[in-house]
A = this chain, B = another copy of it.
Amino acid sequence: MQKLSAQDIEQAMAKLPEWQLDAQRGAIRRRFQFQDFSQAFAFMTRIALYAEKNDHHPEWSNVYNRVDVTLTTHDANGLTQRDIDLARHADEAARAHSG
């Protein structure tokens, strides 16, 4: 997996408006909020299955209804298409598990 160029990242971030770029670390971050723990963990389970299937896993933390997700590709020492795909999947899963 190849590291994305600055231009690739810029284009990808335009479609991920709720994610924040940590350019120095080569990572993106988003906080997800749900109604309760049950919703939050349902979301986490969706991400876990996707992550395992694609062999690309998030760094994440959870406190009750809140899930903080950080994505980076350790092997590439920065952002790759896998991070962008996982971020997009997380956004979709969050919509499905809200409300």
- Interface residues of chain A, those whose CB is within 8 Å of chain B, are 37-38, 41, 44-45, 48, 51-52, 57-64
Contacts and interface: CB of A to CB of B under 8 A. Distances in A.
A81 to B, nearest CB: 19
A57 B45 contact: no
A60 B61 contact: yes
A48 B45 CA distance: 10
Contacts of A37: 48, 51-52, 57
A73 to B, nearest CB: 13
A14 B64 CA distance: 28
B61 A61 contact: yes
Nearest to A41: B48
